[in-house]
Amino acid sequence: MPSGQGARWTSSLPTWVTLSPAQTPLTTPREAPVLAPDRTLQGKHYLLVERQEMQQWGPEVYEACWRAQDLESGREVIVGEVALPLGGSDLQRFFRSATRALLRSSELLNVFLEQGRGFFVFAPPVGESLQARILQRGLLSEQEATQCYGQIAEALQVFSQQHPPLVHGSIQPDHLIHVGSRWVLTHGSLLVAGGATQFLPQRNATLWSAHADLSLLAAVIYYALTGAVPPSERSEQQAGLQNSTLSATFAAVLLKGIHPRMEMRYQSASEVLEALGRRTHDRPERSRQHRRSVALDRVAQGQTRSALLAQDAPGPVVPPPAVEPPRHPSPPPEWTLLPGAEDLPPFPPGQDRLMALVWTAGMLLAAMSILLMAR
């Protein structure tokens, strides 16, 4: 893009980019042949149908996007291909980082390594891309452009709120899909998702950031309204918008997004949403974040207080078990000095039978005496 914003509407990029000595990889895999349509991957699981785009970043660094078919289910899928001069733990680290990022931002179905390349399988977007919309029915109206600009800016705001923040890295008209009444953003650069930005052109290192995503989005909206890539001169940008039937308010919003000076553009997605009058979409999220942070602070404070109390206590305190209240009133305090029946010592073992005989004899004598006296 002439203004240095990195917009690329072509299917391929120059191949003259080279790596500096500091960026030389640890291991260099054997260069595999270029893939062609009708090629199968992962044991004839996926059939490559058509290569939609390719970005060659260096002699051994590129990423491509394929339209493919899942031969097991018969449905269409999107296969992202990436080639990197990495091996061993460095390659595994890239795969882990890219998989985590893509799972949070796209509908990732499968990840595998084959022929020295990495492949990421996505569910295809069900809708019409912005590029196809322009080619078939012409440029967008101001209302359509405002809706598209605001909804994609909301998606970028969600990206920026992730931990770590997500960066798309290559917003182009083909990456904006109109699904029903919503505009959605497809997966971005695989190298950016995996954190392998050292293999990208370092002279444009500022392009691989959340701030650059906002600039690229503004350039795409300018293209959707005028049919041209934003020029580098401010006067030429204004002249391009004057030929369209845009309101002065929206034209000012868009010109700020593609300003030739980076520091004059929008610094966050919330600024774009506020300029578009979509502040109500940002307030509930802020309030939810505030309530969530307050709740987390309370939980953390409670855990800290419990930990401090546990340090001073001699040991764990177990609550006493529930005891059923007595059915009869307890005896007065003075009776507690008398031993209970269970506390009396037992009789000697040899006197139980003797005592029984004495009591029996006594009772018989008493009965005989009563009979004699009665006669």
Question: In this predicted structure, what is the pLDDT of residue 192?
Answer: 85
Structural domains of the chain, count: 2
Q: 104 and 164: one domain? A: no
What does the block give as tokens for 198?
């050292």
Q: 274 and 206: one domain? A: yes
Q: 30 and 113: one domain? A: yes
In a domain, 335, yes or no: no
3-class state of residue 64 by DSSP: strand
Place of tokens 């994609």: 152
Place of tokens 């003259």: 16
pLDDT along the chain (375 residues), means of 10: 41 27 32 78 93 85 92 93 87 89 87 90 90 92 93 91 82 90 88 82 65 91 92 87 82 92 91 81 45 43 40 39 47 48 56 81 91 89
Q: 115 and 200: one domain? A: no
Beta strands in the chain (DSSP E): 40-41, 46-58, 61-70, 76-83, 108-114, 117-122, 128-129, 176-179, 182-185
Q: How far apart are CA 120 and CA 112, in angstroms?
A: 7
Quick one: how far is CA 373 from the chain centroid? 107
Question: In this predicted structure, what is the pLDDT of residue 339?
Answer: 52
With beta carbons less than 8 A apart as the criterion, state whether 166 and 207 touch: no
Last residue within a domain, chosen from 276, 297, 318: 297
In a domain, 104, yes or no: yes
In a domain, 142, yes or no: yes
Question: In this predicted structure, what is the pLDDT of residue 211?
Answer: 85
| Count of Cβ atoms closer than 10 Å to residue 22 Cβ | 7
Question: In this predicted structure, what is the pLDDT of residue 181?
Answer: 87
- Find, among 41, 38, 42, 33, the residue nearest to 51 by Cα: 38
Last residue within a domain, chosen from 252, 282, 297: 297
pTM above 0.75, yes or no: no
In a domain, 6, yes or no: no
What does the block give as tokens for 117?
């390349």
Query: Could you list the residue range(s) of the whole structural domain that residue 55 is in?
Result: 26-124
Q: 95 and 74: one domain? A: yes
| C-alpha torsion angle, residues 18, 51, 191, 21 (rounded to 10) | -10
What does the block give as tokens for 57?
């970043």
CATH of the domain at 169: 1.10.510.10
- Find, among 114, 89, 112, the residue nearest to 99 by Cα: 112
- Phi, psi at residue 63, to the nearest 5°? -140, 140
Question: In this predicted structure, what is the pLDDT of residue 87?
Answer: 82
Q: How far apart are CA 348 and CA 355, in angstroms?
A: 11
In a domain, 308, yes or no: no
**Rg, C-alpha atoms of the chain:** 40
